[in-house]
Amino acid sequence: MQTHLLEIIYLIGSITFILGLKMLSHPDSARKGNLVAAAGMILAIVGTIFFYEDADHNKLGNYIWIFGGLIIGTVAGFFAAKKVQMTAMPEMVSLFNGMGGACAAIISIVELRHFFHHYNETEILGSSYPLLRGDIMTMVLGLIIGSVSFAGSMIAWGKLNGKVKDFAFPAQHIINIVLMIGVFALGGVLMFSGITAAYTWMYLILFVALVYGVLFVLPIGGADMPVVISLLNSFTGVAAACGGFLYHNSVMLTGGILVGSAGTILTILMCKAMNRSLLNVIIGSFGGSSTGSAVAGAAGDIREITMNDTAVLLSYSKKVIIVPGYGLAVAQAQHVCHELEKALEEKGVEVKYAIHPVAGRMPGHMNVLLAEADVPYPKLVEMEEINPEFSSTDVVMVIGANDVVNPAAKRDTSSPIYGMPVLDVENATTTIVMKRGMAKGYAGIENELFFEPKTRMLFGDAKATLQKLVAEVKAV
């Protein structure tokens, strides 16, 4: 009876995961979707704790350890999420994702040890037990993918908060390929080895997978990190799905498949948005050359604009497009930006937001940031739809964005971002770039847009500058 009840609970949990993911596709229902999926996860956890039985009708024990871990993890996660700034959200995603990968790897290690303790050498190596090798393969895949996800996510976390710098050495790409092939070859050896050698192969696989995870992410440039985060998320999902296969747990399998497939699709879309190859991401050669005019620095004159002139120009425009970037997030200026949008609309100005797929530090960063300020979702226009509109736009306001508006991506073949689709802001009648100074973007290259004849620079902190600009616009 309890087994059937648990299966029903798992079915309900799986349905909530699917519904939650569907609801995440639109900002109006995204928060509710998160709560629905979270409720399904809570139900699955509670059901497992109180209704799980093994083949011998033994129930779970160690309730003190189980609930102790749940309480500690819940409290730590709650306060970490409450305190994190929107600008640090990608770091937290990487950190949490790494913990998921570590859990998958630990599960595989524990289950492999339990497996080799439960069966004898003859049973494992015997041809009459093909299902045993299937179980071993599932554990090995969980170990490899989980370890790579953990190590890679920790390096990504360090890169996002500035503690880890890009690092590459000669033939690193070849070494990465050798390590990737080697770790799966070691997994094959473990599947057909006896118990005596199994533990050695297991820990060797763990070591090689961790090394590959580190070397895989280390050379990747900052501007390319959104794709890496998405890919590592998909790795963790696949590792969790391996656990679902291992435990014959439908809700764990469903959750892992959803995360893995959604992460993979998002990774492919991110690669397309940045004109990169998924194969290059996997072997760790994601990025470009570090030489060329875009890196050395663009030449030209900077043209500044005053606050009053900016307010007049915006107020008498017919159409204004705002391009938000990481600088807007750092300054926590999204609410003031929304105020500027409303002030302009009161004067009859059409205002839209141009959203680049990889603006910020992770996919959807700008969408979440502006949704927090209650910007209507229809005003957020994706790159493919907004690019044709720049030529009919009076003023483009670039607030804190850099690499995603750099024309070098279309002109300079030696640029690290060459080939990456960017927002065609230079086609507008006037482009106003709001920045603290002339610092380079996350890709570490100069922005040719700053030296365009139609570009005007408005220097200052985004939030303070926007507050003054809103007052000036209202006074015009």
DSSP track, 368-396:
HHHHHTT--GGGEEEHHHHGGGGGG-SEE
Nearest CA to 436 out of 331, 298, 323, 306 is that of 331
Confidence of residue 365 (pLDDT cuts 50, 70, 90): confident
The pair of three-digit structure tokens given for residue 78, joined into one six-digit string: 């709650």
From 28, 48, 83, the end of a domain falls on: 83
Q: What is the residue range of 159's domain? A: 88-287
Q: What count of other Cβ atoms lies within 10 Å of the Cβ of residue 441? A: 21
Q: Are residues 135 and 264 in the same domain?
A: yes
For 55, 161, 362, 364, 377, the CA distances from 29, given in Å and listed in that order, are 41, 30, 20, 15, 12
Q: What count of other Cβ atoms lies within 10 Å of the Cβ of residue 30? A: 18
pLDDT tens-digit profile of 290-307?
A: 444 444 445 567 899 999
Tell me if 246 sits within 8 A of 206, measured CB to CB.
Answer: no
pLDDT tens-digit profile of 320-358?
A: 999 998 888 888 889 999 999 999 999 999 999 999 887
Q: Are residues 448 and 309 in the same domain?
A: yes
Residue 105 CA to residue 150 CA, distance in Å, equals: 9
Among 6-10, 112-116, 235-239, where is mean pLDDT lowest?
112-116
Among 33-37, 150-154, 254-258, 415-419, where is mean pLDDT lowest?
415-419
Q: Are residues 335 and 377 in the same domain?
A: yes
Q: Are residues 403 and 342 in the same domain?
A: yes
Q: Are residues 44 and 152 in the same domain?
A: no
pLDDT tens-digit profile of 393-437?
A: 999 999 988 888 989 888 877 777 777 888 999 999 999 999 876
pLDDT tens-digit profile of 429-475?
A: 999 999 876 655 555 577 888 999 999 999 988 899 999 999 999 99
Question: What pLDDT is stored for residue 11 in this prediction?
Answer: 92
Tell me if 448 sits within 8 A of 415, measured CB to CB.
Answer: no
Q: Are residues 234 and 276 in the same domain?
A: yes
Q: From the candidates 224, 403, 412, 424, which is the catalytic residue?
A: 403
The CATH number given to whatever domain includes residue 345 is 3.40.50.1220
Q: Are residues 279 and 307 in the same domain?
A: no
The pair of three-digit structure tokens given for residue 121, joined into one six-digit string: 């050498």
Q: Are residues 45 and 124 in the same domain?
A: no
Tell me if 296 sits within 8 A of 371, measured CB to CB.
Answer: no
Strand 430-435 to strand 350-355: parallel, antiparallel, or no bridges (unpaired)? Answer: unpaired
Read off the pTM. Answer: 0.78
Tell me if 125 sits within 8 A of 66, measured CB to CB.
Answer: no
SS3 397: strand
Tell me if 256 sits within 8 A of 242, measured CB to CB.
Answer: yes
Q: Are residues 300 and 225 in the same domain?
A: no
For the cut 90, the answer to whether the pLDDT of residue 122 exceeds it is: no
Tell me if 292 sits within 8 A of 412, measured CB to CB.
Answer: yes
- Look up residue 410 and give its amino acid: K
Question: What pLDDT is stored for residue 91 in this prediction?
Answer: 83
Q: Is 412 a catalytic residue?
A: no
Q: Are residues 46 and 153 in the same domain?
A: no
Instruction: Report the C-alpha dihedral over residues 286, 418, 271, 148, rounded to 10 degrees.
Output: 10
Helical packing angle, 172-191 and 130-160, nearest 10°: 150
The kind and range of the H/E element at 355 are: strand 350-355
Question: What is the tally of structural domains in the chain?
Answer: 3
Q: Are residues 52 and 71 in the same domain?
A: yes
Q: Are residues 364 and 446 in the same domain?
A: yes
Nearest CA to 96 out of 150, 143, 147, 43 is that of 150
The position carrying tokens 């209650």 is 374
From 247, 266, 287, the end of a domain falls on: 287
From 246, 264, 287, the end of a domain falls on: 287
Residue 14: phi, psi to the nearest 5? Answer: -65, -40
**Looking at per-residue confidence, does 225 or 210 come out higher?**
210
